[in-house]
Amino acid sequence: MHSFILFILSTNHTEYSVSIYTGLVAMHRAGVLHGDLAARNVVMRPEHPPVIIDFSHSQVGHSCLGEALCNELIEARKLLALGDADLSGVEQYQTSSL
Ligand SMILES: [Zn+2]
C-alpha cells in the first residue's frame, strides 16, 4: 500500500489509476472478485497499460453490488486516490434490476 501512495504522489497517476480501476470493474462485471488488490499485484511498464496479476485470493461467482456498494471497488477507489471527477470518462457500472 505504501508504494501505491508513493506512486500516486510521484506522477500524474490518473491515467494509470483509471486503467487499473477500469480493469477491476470489468473483472467484477465478469463475476470475479480479485481479493488482494495491492501495488505488488499490479505490473507497471512504460507505455503499456497496467496489468493486474495474482488471482490466488480471487473468487469467481461474485455478484457485484455495483460501484456504490461493492467493498472491493470502494476500497480500490480509495487505494488509487480516484475521485468522481477522475472517473467521469469511465462507464458507470450499476447492477441492473431484474
Ligand atoms: Zn464487485
User: What is the distance in A from the centroid of ligand 1 to the CA of 25?
Assistant: 7
Q: Which is higher by pLDDT, 11 or 48?
A: 48
Domain that holds residue 37: 2-79
Higher-confidence residue of 77 and 5: namely 77
Amino acid at 94: Q
CA 10 to ligand 1 centroid distance, Å: 29
Tens digit of pLDDT for each residue in 70-79?
999 999 999 9
Distance from the CA of 7 to the center of ligand 1, in angstroms?
Answer: 25
Local structure of 59: helix, strand or coil: strand
Out of 10-14, 71-75, 81-85, the most confident range is 71-75
Residue 88 falls within a domain, yes or no? no
**Any domain includes 15:** yes
- Which pTM was predicted? 0.78
25 lies in a domain? Answer: yes
- Number of Cβ atoms within 10 Å of the Cβ of 10: 8
pLDDT tens-digit readout, 53-71: 999 999 999 999 999 999 9
Domain count, the chain: 1
DSSP 92: P
Q: What angle do CA 88, 59, 43 make, to 5 degrees?
A: 60
CATH of the domain at 61: 1.10.510.10
pLDDT value for 97: 44
